[in-house]
Amino acid sequence: MDLPVTIKDVARRAKVAVSTASSALNGKPYVSEKTRLKVIKAAAELDYYPHLVARSLARGQTKDLGIINPIPIEAVFSSKFFLQLIKGMHDAAFKNSYTLSLYIVNNEEEAITQIRSIVKGRSADGLIITNPTIKTSYLMELKKCSFPFVLVGRPPEDEREICYVDSDNVMVSYMALRYLIKLGHTRVAFVTGPNKFTFCIDRLRGYKLALEEAGISYDENLVLECDLSEIDTYCTVSRALNGKIKFSAIFATSEIQTIGTIKAIKDKGLDIPADIVVGGVDFSLTYLQPITVTVDLHPYDLGYLAAEMLIKNINNENSRKTKILVPADLIVGDSIPVYNGKN
């Protein structure tokens, strides 16, 4: 490692005081152009670069955002989704001269420990919590000490004043369902996850809304609730296909669930979309398996906006806005057979 060059060296070479060098380098308006030039020249000649940790200590801010994902990373609904989310955060952070630290924990317990350590150790200026669950114990922790944080995903209703960014999940399924209904489907099965996830609650609401609007009565037998795994979805959908409840289309609320659904349909010897039309959310494998409709949640935007919002909170520039909804887009597949009433 080269001998580190400090601002002292720069000051000496430019023949000014350390504080002057600092002011010059940081663009303080009161520094004369002449000295500024001298300092900048000296810094360049020495290839000076500020010691970021020292700066953090002096300024009282780390310029770092922590990301905490309180569920097992394997359980993340889609790896691609998650990576895009992070990429979005990164870009917003980078643009504002922040860095990103990643804290991977497996459950709420660990999340609390981690949060406490970050908050009290002041190793980040703010926190982004992805995949928040209903267990809000760790939110308490944060609110208690008024540490800036933003959720990606809607918190439970009773959590007021919590900043979050989320898809408009009611719209997500509403749009997809409306589309399927337009194709002629009146009996659309709805594959969703546990109601402890707010996004599942919202998407079910959208599902009902679309039915209602179309004058189709809601049949709770068509709602297939399973956990968010491929295997459980597979079993549940298989059971439904073998049951007496009939449906001509099926809509799954996550990529993982869409995969499980497709598998169940195929193993039953049915064709997609001839025998049954499939809709999904956040399904990125359309190249391998086209489906009639899917919804793009724009994870990049979710991440970008979350980081941006957090940075505003940190700088107290937030206009008391506590929620941002990112509109989702309907992605319509190539071959959309209008339902002919069979099935």
Partner DNA sequence: CTGTTAGCGCCTTCAA
Partner DNA sequence: TTGAAGGCGCTAACAG
DSSP 218: P
d(CA 343, CA 339) in angstroms, rounded, equals 9
140 lies in the binding site for its own copies (CB under 8 A):
no
Point out which span in 20-28, 196-204, 259-267, 324-332 binds its own copies (CB under 8 A).
259-267
Find the binding residues for DNA in span 48-77 (CB under 7 A).
48, 50-51, 54-55, 57-60
Q: Can residue 6 be called a binding residue for its own copies (CB under 8 A)?
A: no
Whether residue 299 contacts residue 205, with contact meaning beta carbons closer than 8 Å, is answered with: no
User: Rounded to whole angstroms, how far apart are CA atoms 174 and 170?
Assistant: 6
Please give the backbone phi and psi of residue 232, each rounded to the nearest 5 degrees, phi first.
-70, -40
Q: Binding to its own copies by residue 260, rule CB under 8 A?
A: yes
Residue whose C-alpha is closest to residue 257's, from 203, 186, 217, 220: 203
44 lines the binding site for DNA (CB under 7 A): no
Using CB under 7 A as the binding rule, whether residue 270 contacts DNA is answered as no
Contact predicate 193/253, CB 8 Å: yes
Per-residue contact string for residues 278-317; x = within reach of its own copies by CB under 8 A: -------x-xxx----------------------------
Asked whether position 147 contacts its own copies by CB under 8 A, the answer is yes
Alpha-carbon gap, residue 240 to 224, rounded angstroms: 8
Q: How far is the CB of 177 from its own copies (least distance, A)?
A: 24
Residue type, 322: T
Structure token digits, residue 125: 């200026």
- How is the chain split among helix, strand and coil, in percent rounded to 5? 45, 15, 40
7 touches, from DNA, its own copies, none (C-beta below 5 to 8 Å by class): DNA
Can you give the binding site for its own copies, defined by CB under 8 A? 1-2, 4, 47, 49-54, 56-57, 62, 64, 73, 76, 78-80, 82-84, 86-87, 90-91, 99-104, 116-117, 120-123, 145-147, 230, 234, 259-260, 262-263, 285, 287-289
